[in-house]
Amino acid sequence: MNKYNSCFQKHIGIPAFFTVVLTGCNQDQIKSASEEDLLIAKDRATEEKLLHEFQSLAQADPITTLDLNEPDPFELQEYPTHSIWPRVREGFEIDTHLDHPWVQTQLDWYSRHPEYLFRTMTRAEPFLHYILEEAEKRDLPTELVLLPIVESAYQPFAYSHGRAAGIWQFIPSTGRLYGLEQTWWYDGRRDIYASTQAALSYLQNLNKLFDGDWTLALAAYNSGSGTVQRAIRKNKKAGKPTDFWHLTLPKETRAYVPKLMALKELIENSELYDISLRCIPDAPGFIPVDTDSQIDLALAAELAELDVDTLYEYNPAFNRWATSPDGPHRLLLPYENAEIFKANLAKIPDDQRVQWKRHKIKNGETLSHIAVKYNTTVKELRKINSISGNNIRAGQHLLIPVASRGQSTYTLSSSQRLKAIQSNGKKNKTRVNHYVQSGESFWTISRKYNVNMHSLAKWNGMAIRDPLGQGQKLVVWTSNSSSTSAPGKRKPSQTIQPISYTVRNGDSLSRIASRYSVSISDLHRWNSIKGKYLQPGQKLRLYVDVTEQTKG
């Protein structure tokens, strides 16, 4: 195949994310990058021996909008049918260092796994044109459009053990630093549109910090600028070279830069390695559409004539059943569906883009309980109903936004993805609900049940560095007969269950503790109670052994 290959079909849009459309190509289920990616490291003692090993990758400027005064780069028009790869190659700038064994090791692995590259490029197809255009606007090396292959294998919902998310794998703090909002409704780290701009800004800044050395900038993107700067200072002090290849960096970082170089070589000279690049048209894969207000994603999919899963795949930043009420009020839509959506959306008034329920407050209910019941947040309830503080009265009514479909419709929402993970038990494994006790960590809990710590975090949609709260429920898949463990209860018995208790007139901590055979200190830990006194109607969380409870 000539490396300046063309697309022989007219560009009519982007295929479904996980569909392989070329005859004879591998159509197996997409594996995570951690199962397919190879890491290498150099022996620090001899600096001669090369180590080959697998290691897990990702499971894994502020948000902007289009300037309507400028020509719209996404305006509908006929696009040429040629492949995007020649244009990508034209912008290559970074030295490949093909003579280095680290690069050769990565090149060998990628060239022996063309099916992995094909699957990754299938996922990249809707986004590649946009990322390339943004890189070119900034006069950046176009090798950077390949970086999400290294970071996440272009998986929109990628989440790593280091709490990094999205195709660019931003950790929470760096994401916020570059304007990527992270709320209950929305995680900008997974927003293809916003995170791409943030990632390129971050890479530009790192390149300036390291005086135009892209190998050091890329290493810093992976391990942090402080890590690279410390390694440089250490080598300077020892009189050693301070280029990337001589620095003592984390094992993953020493493989990270060579991976990008190997990918560049394969894209630039695919015919030499007998690699057939997926034909991705040099045309927009999506169009950003302004919705002006919050919208139910099931309704949006219907208006765009898409299935809900496809809409989520283009818009993985939305955690729930609707877009965020606070914005961004923007949806990314497949090229051929954007105009259909705009026309249909114009017929729907703003106040009909989400459904509303009028809820009558009952005795003992709090804003937090009502928010959980309706899958929303206390902040949103306050905002919609003009409530300051937490005081509400029985008999009052609240206006609440609700999903137009059942939760099972929104299969790629945060809660449904987590539910799918947690229900995906393995043969001969038992699901256990573990309630976190004071002082416990992923490490101690994994040892308790004899399970892998990273697996434990994954089952619960978390990273091992995420904090755990007292009373928090974790799902554990274990081969042991041990089961539910509640805070303050050491016996691993299925008879321990969480309950919600509403404080009555005359109740005290001592009386409640005695009634349910728990300690007053347990009540404090589970509920963060301040002082000695309780208020009627106050809700308490308890973990009780049902076999020890008396009738009546």
pLDDT band at 531 (very low <50, low <70, confident <90, very high): low
Residue 200: predicted pLDDT: 97
Distance from C-alpha of 388 to C-alpha of 382, rounded to nearest angstrom: 7
Reported as a single tens digit per residue, the pLDDT across 145-157 is 999 999 999 998 8
Residue 514: predicted pLDDT: 74
For the chain, what are the domain ranges?
A: 82-273, 286-352, 355-403, 414-478, 496-548
Distance from C-alpha of 473 to C-alpha of 498, rounded to nearest angstrom: 9
On whether the pTM is more than 0.95, the answer is no
Which of 195-199, 458-462, 478-482 bottoms out in mean pLDDT, i.e. has the lowest? 478-482
Query: 496-548 belongs to which homologous superfamily?
Result: LysM domain (3.10.350.10)
Domains 355-403 and 414-478 share a fold: yes
Question: Which CATH fold topology does 355-403 show?
Answer: Membrane-bound Lytic Murein Transglycosylase D; Chain A (3.10.350)
| Among 86, 66, 97, 203, CA closest to 140 | 203
Give the tokens for residue 307: 């299935």
Residue 422: predicted pLDDT: 54
Number of H-type helices and E-type strands within the chain: 20, 10
| Among 379, 177, 401, CA closest to 294 | 401
| Active-site residue, selected from the candidate residues 36, 125, 134, 151 | 151
Reported as a single tens digit per residue, the pLDDT across 369-395 is 888 888 788 888 888 898 888 888 888
Task: Specify the CATH class of 414-478 in words.
Answer: alpha beta
Is there a contact between 18 and 30 (Cβ–Cβ < 8 Å)?
yes
Q: Which residues of 348-382 are buried (b: 16+ CB within 10 A; e: fewer)?
A: eeeeebbeeeebebeebbbbeebbeebbbbbebbb
Distances (CA, A) of 363 to 12, 308, 380, 384, 498: 57, 38, 21, 21, 21
Give the tokens for residue 222: 């992976």
Reported as a single tens digit per residue, the pLDDT across 247-265 is 999 999 999 999 999 999 9
Is there a contact between 487 and 471 (Cβ–Cβ < 8 Å)?
yes
Residue 404: other Cβ atoms inside 10 A: 15
Reported as a single tens digit per residue, the pLDDT across 54-91 is 223 222 333 333 333 434 444 444 444 589 999 999 99
pLDDT band at 544 (very low <50, low <70, confident <90, very high): low
DSSP string, 273-321: GT------BSS-SEEEEE-SS--BHHHHHHHHT--HHHHHHH-TTB-SS
Catalytic residue flag (residue 151): yes
Residue 141: predicted pLDDT: 97
Is it the case that residue 194 has pLDDT exceeding 90? Answer: yes
Reported as a single tens digit per residue, the pLDDT across 209-227 is 999 999 999 999 999 999 9
User: Which CATH code is given to the segment(s) 82-273?
Assistant: 1.10.530.10
Torsion of Cα atoms, 522 then 523 then 529 then 531, to 10° = -90
Q: How close are the terminal C-alpha atoms of the chain, in Å? A: 80
